[in-house]
Amino acid sequence: DAGITQSPRHKVTETGTPVTLRCHQTENHRYMYWYRQDPGHGLRLIHYSYGVKDTDKGEVSDGYSVSRSKTEDFLLTLESATSSQTSVYFCAISGGGVTGELFFGEGSRLTVL
Amino acid sequence: QKEVEQDPGPLSVPEGAIVSLNCTYSNSAFQYFMWYRQYSRKGPELLMYTYSSGNKEDGRFTAQVDKSSKYISLFIRDSQPSDSATYLCAILTGGGNKLTFGTGTQLKVEL
C-alpha cells in the first residue's frame, strides 16, 4: 500500500468553526490532491499541488484553502465550515507520468452540524 | 454537459455473470482512460488504464474505449462476490495527472 495517512479519519464539528485535514505521504511523490466524495457527484477535485508551495484550484475550491510547506504534507483548511462541506475527503498522491495512477488515502469523514 | 457521465446503479448480478460497466465522455481530445475500484469505506484504487482506442485485458477484466462514440466500458467475466464494490471511470483531463471521475457504479455480486 502507498504510504498515505490522513488525519483525522472522522470529525464532527459545528458550522462556522475552522477545520484542518492533514495528508501525510512517505512516497516522496511530487503531486498531491484533495478530493471530496458525495453521493450523486462522485469524486471532485478541490485543490492540488505540484510541488512545495505550488498549489492550484480544482473544480470545487470555494470555501477551501490548502498549504504544502513540505513534500510530505498537504493540508486542507475549511476556514469556516458549512453544512454543505459535510463529505468524505480523500487525499491522493501521484509520481507524475501519464498513466493516471493516483494513490488514495483511506478518507476523512467530516460532518458539519 | 458533464465531462464524464456514469450510470450510478446499483447493479446486482449473480456470481459468474458477465458485468458491463459504462461511461460516456464529452471531449474527443481525451486520450487516457482509467477504471478505479473502491471498496466500502476505502479509498479508490486503480484497476486498469487504457490509452486512446481499443481493448486492454487483465485477467477477468477488460477495458474498452470507443473514441468514435466517446464511450468507455469495463467488462468483468466470471464475476465473484469479491468484485462487489463501486467502480469509477476516470479520464485524464489536465496536466499533473488531474483526473475527472464519473459518479461511480455500485456493483453487488450475489452468491
Write out pLDDT tens, residues B47-63. Answer: 998 988 889 999 999 99
- For B68-77, give one letter per residue: b (16+ CB within 10 A) or e: eebebbbbbe
Lowest mean pLDDT among A21-25, A43-47, A90-94, B30-34: B30-34
How far is B9 from chain A, CA to nearest CA, in Å?
A: 11
Looking at this protein, which amino acid is placed at residue A44?
R
Of B109, B79, B77, B87, nearest to B38 (Cα)?
Answer: B87
B77 part of contact set with chain A, CB < 8 Å: no
Please report residues of A whose CB lies closer than 8 A to that of B97.
31, 94, 96-98, 100-102
Tell me the pLDDT tens digit for each residue of A59-87: 999 999 999 999 999 999 999 999 999 99
Residue A11, phi then psi, degrees to nearest 5: -150, 135
Which residue among B34, B42, B96 places its CB closest to the CB of A48? B96
Give the Cα separation of B32 and B48 in Å (integer): 11
Residue in B closest to A2 by C-alpha: B45
Which residue among B33, B97, B103 places its CB closest to the CB of A42? B103
